Chain A
Amino acid sequence: MAFIAGLSRLSPNVIVRKITGAYVEVFRGTSLIVQLFWLYYAIPMLFGINLGSNWWIGVIAIGLNYGAYLSEVVRGSIQSVAKGQTEAATALNMSRFQRMRLVIFPQAVRMMLPEFGNYTIQMLKGTSLVSLIGLTDVLYYGDIMRSTNLAQAPLIYLLVLILYFILALPLIWLTRKGESISKKGVASE
């Protein structure tokens, strides 16, 4: 999603650029909760379309939302690859597509990796919002446990915290890895 939108925003075609621009602005400019409620309540009511189970709605909303954020990361990284790289590739008579595939994109990806990791961790945390449309997530279970056992509340929230952290751990590790890869091999302005 992010790659498609990010590349579309750099397209030479004005219409493609405008449409993805609008998508990105809408989904970045409004909060995930609002988007969730829209998909869950408003759209089925207004258009009579059922978007499927609330699990799917959660996935779609989070996908669209982070897709919009990440597309900006994709766009930014591609634009920050130095102009000299495109020129050198042109001087070697590469086609537009070859320049992107062989020279610009591989460097842009190295810059994206750390940002992608950060967003993915955020996205994981964002998942707790889906309990609002009736999905059960870790926090939701924590809440139930707390209400049956009030005295244990701090302990239960601590457990939830640790659980999130454990879930995020591999991502944090991947992000670190990504950062060290991205340190070598990028020419930016």
Chain B
Amino acid sequence: MKEPIVQFNDVHKSFGDVKVLKGIDLDINPAEKVAVIGPSGSGKTTIIRMLMTLEEPTSGDIIVDGKNLWKMEKNGKPLRANEKHLRSIRGDIGMVFQHFNLFPHMTILDNCMVAPIHVKKEDKLEVKERAVQMLDRVGLGDKLENYPSQLSGGQKQRVAMARALVMRPKIMLFDEVTSALDPELVGEVLEVIRDIAKNDDMAMVLVTHEMDFALDIADKVLFLDEGVIAEQGTASQVIEHSANERLQTFLHRFRKV
């Protein structure tokens, strides 16, 4: 059996006195596409932010490719991870945010080139070629010299995806990437994700409210509720055949029927 690329072992997270996650256990295999659904405030964003090293778990372990993300050892003593340790693992992970977070002072092309050049110290021409290719792939090959402020929300989000992909992560995280978009722009962004999901062999974790989309591309669906994974399985098991009552109520609100 193949080793999971990501493992959560009894991960808890509190903000002050508020317990947000109460024991998350989760395996993600290489190339697996995982959709995370659940009511607003159930901790979906927090899960992927911990994996992206933007939020530190209160307890428990997150293992990425065999390495403990938030803990390290020095002379045999266990320590909290420092920035250097985090950086040594973080390169495997990429993230697309709800609000795009493009760098507004750079052109679209520079947005996609800055990290490979400065972080991975790759050859500039090679990076440029790859970035142009990637922007072509997301349908923005004609906007290379534009600034983010000149783009629509859907276009911005596609740039954000290209920017993450150029880094060639092993795991890509998507946090409700269509929920800040006008309805007519959602389709173009989902198309790009579908394309990535079908053709690339990264693991993907998608927090999403697009149930039909999740059903279509996800190998596994997690239903997060009140700080725990209340239900998990294949998309059809969870979305179409689950007996979990809270899940049914939740799905009902999102189904357009």
Interface of A toward B, CB cutoff 8 Å: 82, 84-85, 87-96, 98, 102-103, 106-107, 110, 184-187
Instruction: Given A98-B119, A102-B118, decide whether A93 and B104 contact each other with a Cβ distance below 8 A.
Output: no
Q: What residues of chain B lie closer than 8 Å to A103, measured between beta carbons?
A: 103
Q: How far does the alpha carbon of A145 sit from the alpha carbon of B210 in the complex, in Å?
A: 80
Q: Which of B87, B104, B164 contacts A186 (CB 8 A)?
A: B104
Q: Does B163 contact A87, Cβ atoms closer than 8 Å?
A: no
**Sample of 28 A–B contacts (CB below 8 Å):** A84-B97, A84-B99, A84-B101, A87-B54, A88-B101, A88-B102, A90-B53, A90-B90, A91-B54, A91-B95, A91-B97, A91-B164, A92-B119, A92-B163, A92-B164, A92-B167, A93-B91, A93-B115, A93-B119, A95-B83, A95-B87, A96-B83, A98-B119, A102-B114, A106-B105, A185-B104, A187-B101, A187-B103
Contact partner of B147 (CB less than 8 A), chosen from A93, A106, A184, is A184
Which residues of B151-179 are within 8 A (CB) of A? Answer: 163-164, 167
Q: Which of A88, A96, A110 is within 8 Å of B103, CB to CB?
A: A88
Bound-state Cα–Cα, A107 to B164, Å = 21
- Chain B residues proximal to chain A, CB less than 8 Å: 52-54, 83, 87, 90-91, 93-95, 97, 99, 101-105, 114-115, 118-119, 147, 149, 163-164, 167
The residues of B that contact A102 with a CB separation of less than 8 Å are 114, 118
Interface contacts beyond A85-B103, A91-B97, A96-B83: sample of 17 additional A-B pairs, CB < 8 Å, sorted by A: A88-B101, A90-B53, A90-B54, A91-B93, A91-B94, A91-B164, A92-B163, A92-B164, A93-B167, A94-B118, A95-B83, A102-B118, A103-B103, A107-B104, A107-B105, A185-B104, A185-B149
* Most-contacted residue by chain B among A90, A93, A107 (CB, 10 A): A93
Chain A positions within 8 Å of B149 at CB level: 184-185
Chain B residue nearest in CB terms to A92: B115
CB pair A88 B97 closer than 8 Å: yes
How far, in angstroms, from A102 to B119 measured CA to CA in the complex?
11
Give the distance in Å from the alpha carbon of A96 to the alpha carbon of B96 in the complex.
Answer: 20
Q: CA A186 – CA B103 in complex, angstroms?
A: 8
Set B105, B118, B164, B167: member contacting A98, Cβ < 8 A: B118
- Chain A residue numbers with a CB within 8 Å of B83 are 95-96
State A84–B102 Cα separation when bound (angstroms).
9
User: Taking each of B90, B91, B105, which has the highest tally of chain A beta carbons within 10 Å of its own beta carbon?
Assistant: B105
Instruction: State in angstroms the CA–CA spacing of A96 and B149 once bound together.
Output: 26
- The residue of chain A having its C-beta at the shortest distance from the C-beta of B105 within the complex is A185
